[in-house]
């Protein structure tokens, strides 16, 4: 491959992505031969309306003004979103949508392609992919979610297709909704939802969606197309104003998320739904395909070779698509679990729906529609001018002044388990920084329970005194800040090097023996632990209770039991790490037995007025491990034993985990536990902004938010969040010596004289 200017181009698929790619490539080089194969006729299309963002339209305007101008004449624009639930409609404005009919979009692109001289071959199956690859300089596979091109080269593209739990059907009605409409129907068979939006002066797209089990219970699996449509129209008669629904060879289907490890193979490249899919609830399928086309055309123009052009295209688009797919997955899972949220107050339910994908946030919504957002805040109980994160929260006898928690962070800086000056400065600074609750790192209950030689403990009087020094500083110098201790035992993950010397790597010398639920090493090369005997389980319970007594003497306000991240108690909970055949292994109830025994023993010795929380890994991110369903049952079990809140983390249980990282990626697990069990939760996991905290709290997905890295970056993160939001109430008191810093210092001169006269020649 010596050029990125291929002359003979084959495009498989005549949807918007394929057609727009053809038009762009032909426009950039009119002497090219560009051929599009589409197995359907020009008038065939599935779905009805297409929504495009201003960002995408801007790209079209710059790249191909004639297409942009043609689109402008046919757009329907609106600003509102209506959410109808239990006969109450909530309206949020300022969102800005533009849509047109899918057939109209295709006609515009057909005309543009013909004007430019693209060879459009309708009602014609594309030749076999291998033949196309041999015959043409470039093959663009824009043949959709069921791409035959992708499947022909599956070994190269390595696609992963994930089915989801809802059935849906694309329909239309002969009226234009005046807003993007979400309507919830609670039927005898279960919850159903309507997604609708206008795409013409007299027409709207209507998508009806429901869980698979609801779809079957309602009998849709036995109805033909016309019967299904009539049933949907009857269920949503109020939304439709009694109008009928129309089909376009519409069938019930299950959404599938498509992800490909690679997007190109030789001279074959994937585009649009063939490369990736994003759930219709965030309306991004056509948008992404058009943006793919713009990027591919640009890379082919900019790069010296076809190989480098396709690599650049993939490098540019993959992060954007991954971000969109994370948002789409959050949205589709929210709708899958819609029943969890139905009992929320009306405005909070609407806010929850609007912010479900994490792309619309509290601050963003305040800009779009301040009146709606202020109404949600009032319903939540925010005093005037108080962001949700600065409202108080009560756990047993402890009232936290705000919803921010400094998450436990191992510092690996102790000597013989004794916290020193470093810990005083580290935790003291974060106590002064305004968080409602500051947590210690995992404090180990025995020397053998340490992760590394630098880990802290609570198994000696000297350690107790050292911790007392820290809690007294926090209580004296940062009144209103609570300080909590996290108690744990490393289990099979102990006797390792300090993090910066080799995380989870065994010590080169001076190792101590490890114990665990089962004799399984954490990873190849790790020490093999001994399986705990009944007698050793009794000893461990006593170590935890002794540490809890010392923690109370040290002055901690809250105690958290660490049952996550593959440490000892977590090792009992996961089926991947607990292979016992006695009363402490097997079923989930048996795997819970020892952690619950430890919890009960600690709760008995921990002061009754002080709260106790438990951190769990809600999923192992590994096949055969703890699932989200298991996490709900684990939380229920601890709730039945008196836990005050569940700190919901994930993973770090097995070395070969496959986490699905992303912004706030662990919060859906907390959300589900909170709504299914009723127990308060602490959400963690890539929560990095005060806007995220406000959004999660106000939507009811969590009660508290724990942040780690932001507090490493800025010990005064909470106070700065208050200052940036213009808040100066009781939820964020600045320490008296720091009051002068409550406003950012000026960084340059701002009083320069303004020009009074402009001369022109």
Distance of CA 8 to the CA centre of its chain: 42
- Nearest partner of 435 among 719, 134, 78, 97, judged by Cα: 719
Alpha helices for 606-728 (secondary structure H): 628-640, 667-677, 690-699, 709-713, 717-724
**Pairing mode of beta strands 97-101, 49-52:** antiparallel
Tell me which H or E stretch contains 463.
Answer: helix 461-477
Residues 6+ apart with CB under 8 A from 622: 576, 653, 654, 656, 657, 658
196 and 177 Cβ atoms separated by less than 8 Å? yes
Residue 504: strand, helix, or coil: coil
Q: In sequence order, what DSSP letters do the residues of 392-426 get, joined into one string?
A: -EEETTEEESSSEEE--------BTTB--HHHHHH
Distance of CA 323 to the CA centre of its chain: 9
Q: Is 680 exposed, middle or buried (0-12, 13-18, 19+ CB in 10 A)?
A: buried
270 and 38 Cβ atoms separated by less than 8 Å? no
Residue 157 CB-half CA count within 13 A: 26
* Dihedral in degrees, nearest 10, Cα atoms 52, 58, 62, 68: 40
CA–CA separation, 153 vs 151, rounded Å? 5
CB neighbours of residue 746 within 10 Å: 7
What is the residue whose two structure tokens read 């020490």?
527
CA–CA separation, 157 vs 220, rounded Å? 36
Tell me which H or E stretch contains 190.
Answer: strand 190-200
CA–CA separation, 562 vs 753, rounded Å? 61
Torsions phi, psi for 689 (to 5 deg): -125, 155
Q: Checking phi first, is residue 524 left (phi over 0); if not, alpha (psi -120 to 50) or beta?
A: beta
**Pairing mode of beta strands 180-187, 253-260:** unpaired
CA–CA separation, 290 vs 146, rounded Å? 18
567 and 408 Cβ atoms separated by less than 8 Å? no
Residues 6+ apart with CB under 8 A from 670: 618, 646, 648, 681, 682, 683, 684, 701, 702
Measured between alpha carbons, how far is residue 604 from residues 71, 468, 488, 543, 544 in Å?
69, 22, 17, 14, 11
| Residues recognised as catalytic | 567
CA–CA separation, 104 vs 49, rounded Å? 9
């Amino acid at each position: 491959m010596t050029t990125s200017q291929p002359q003979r181009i084959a495009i498989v698929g005549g949807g918007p992505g394929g057609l727009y790619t053809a038009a762009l490539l032909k426009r950039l080089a009119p002497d090219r031969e560009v051929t599009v194969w589409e197995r359907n006729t020009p008038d065939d299309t599935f779905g009805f309306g297409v929504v495009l963002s201003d960002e995408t339209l801007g790209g079209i305007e710059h790249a191909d003004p004639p297409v942009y101008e043609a689109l402008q004449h046919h757009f329907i624009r609106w600003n509102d979103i209506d959410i109808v639930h239990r006969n109450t409609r909530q309206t949020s404005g300022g969102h800005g949508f533009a849509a047109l009919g899918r057939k109209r979009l295709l006609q515009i692109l057909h005309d543009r392609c013909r004007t430019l001289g693209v060879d459009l071959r309708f009602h014609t199956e594309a030749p076999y992919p291998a033949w196309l690859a041999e015959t043409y300089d470039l093959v663009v596979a824009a043949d959709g979610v069921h791409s035959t091109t992708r499947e022909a080269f599956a070994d190269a593209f390595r696609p992963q297709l994930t089915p989801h739990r809802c059935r849906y059907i694309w329909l239309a009605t002969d009226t234009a909704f005046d807003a993007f409409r979400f309507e919830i129907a609670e039927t005898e068979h279960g919850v159903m939802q309507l997604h609708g939006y206008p795409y013409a002066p007299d027409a709207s797209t209507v998508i009806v969606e429901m869980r698979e089990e609801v779809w079957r219970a309602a009998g849709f699996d036995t109805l033909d197309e016309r019967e299904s449509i009539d049933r949907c129209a009857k269920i949503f008669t109020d939304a439709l104003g009694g109008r009928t629904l129309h089909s376009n060879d519409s069938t019930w289907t299950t959404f599938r998320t498509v992800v490909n490890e690679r997007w190109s193979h030789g001279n074959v490249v994937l585009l649009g739904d063939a490369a990736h899919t994003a759930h219709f609830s965030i309306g991004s399928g056509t948008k992404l395909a058009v943006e793919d086309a713009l990027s591919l055309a640009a890379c082919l123009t900019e790069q010296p070779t076809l190989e480098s052009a396709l690599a650049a295209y993939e490098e540019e688009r993959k992060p954007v698509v991954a971000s969109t797919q994370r948002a789409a997955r959050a949205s589709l899972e929210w709708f899958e679990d819609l029943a969890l949220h139905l009992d929320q107050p009306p405005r909070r339910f609407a806010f929850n729906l609007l912010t479900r994908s994490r792309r619309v946030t509290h601050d963003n919504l305040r800009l779009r529609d301040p009146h709606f957002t202020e109404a949600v805040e009032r319903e939540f109980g925010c005093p005037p001018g108080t962001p949700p994160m600065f409202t108080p929260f009560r756990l047993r006898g402890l009232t936290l002044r705000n919803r921010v928690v400094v998450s436990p962070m191992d510092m690996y800086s102790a000597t013989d388990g004794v916290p020193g000056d470093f810990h005083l400065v580290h935790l003291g600074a974060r106590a002064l920084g305004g968080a409602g609750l500051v947590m210690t790192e995992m404090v180990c209950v025995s020397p053998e329970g340490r992760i590394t030689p630098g880990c802290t403990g609570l198994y000696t009087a000297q350690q107790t005194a050292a911790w007392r020094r820290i809690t007294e500083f926090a209580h004296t110098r940062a009144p209103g800040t609570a300080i909590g201790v996290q108690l744990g035992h490393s289990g099979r993950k102990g006797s390792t090097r300090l993090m910066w010397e080799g995380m989870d790597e065994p010590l080169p010398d001076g190792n101590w023996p490890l114990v665990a639920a089962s004799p399984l090493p954490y990873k190849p090369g790790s020490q093999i632990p001994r399986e705990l005997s009944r007698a050793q389980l009794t000893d461990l319970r006593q170590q935890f209770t002794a540490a809890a007594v010392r923690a109370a003497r040290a002055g901690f306000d809250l105690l958290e039991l660490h049952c996550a991240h593959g440490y000892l108690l977590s090792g009992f909970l996961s089926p991947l790490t607990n292979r016992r055949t006695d009363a402490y292994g097997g079923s989930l109830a048996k795997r819970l037995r020892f952690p619950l025994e430890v919890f009960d023993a600690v709760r008995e010795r921990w002061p009754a007025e002080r709260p106790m929380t438990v951190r769990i890994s809600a999923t192992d991110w590994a096949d055969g491990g703890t699932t989200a369903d298991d996490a709900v049952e684990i939380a229920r079990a601890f709730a039945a034993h008196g836990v005050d809140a569940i700190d919901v983390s994930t993973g770090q249980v097995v070395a070969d985990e496959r986490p699905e990282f992303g912004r706030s990626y662990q919060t859906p697990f907390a959300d589900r536990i909170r709504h299914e069990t009723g127990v308060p939760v602490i959400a963690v996991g890539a929560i990095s902004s005060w806007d995220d905290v406000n959004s999660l709290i106000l939507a009811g997905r969590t009660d508290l938010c724990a942040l780690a890295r932001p507090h490493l970056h800025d010990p005064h993160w909470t106070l700065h969040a208050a200052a940036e939001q213009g808040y100066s109430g009781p939820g964020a008191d600045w320490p008296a010596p720091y009051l002068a810093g409550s406003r950012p210092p000026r960084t340059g001169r701002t009083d320069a004289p303004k020009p009074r006269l402009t001369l022109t020649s």
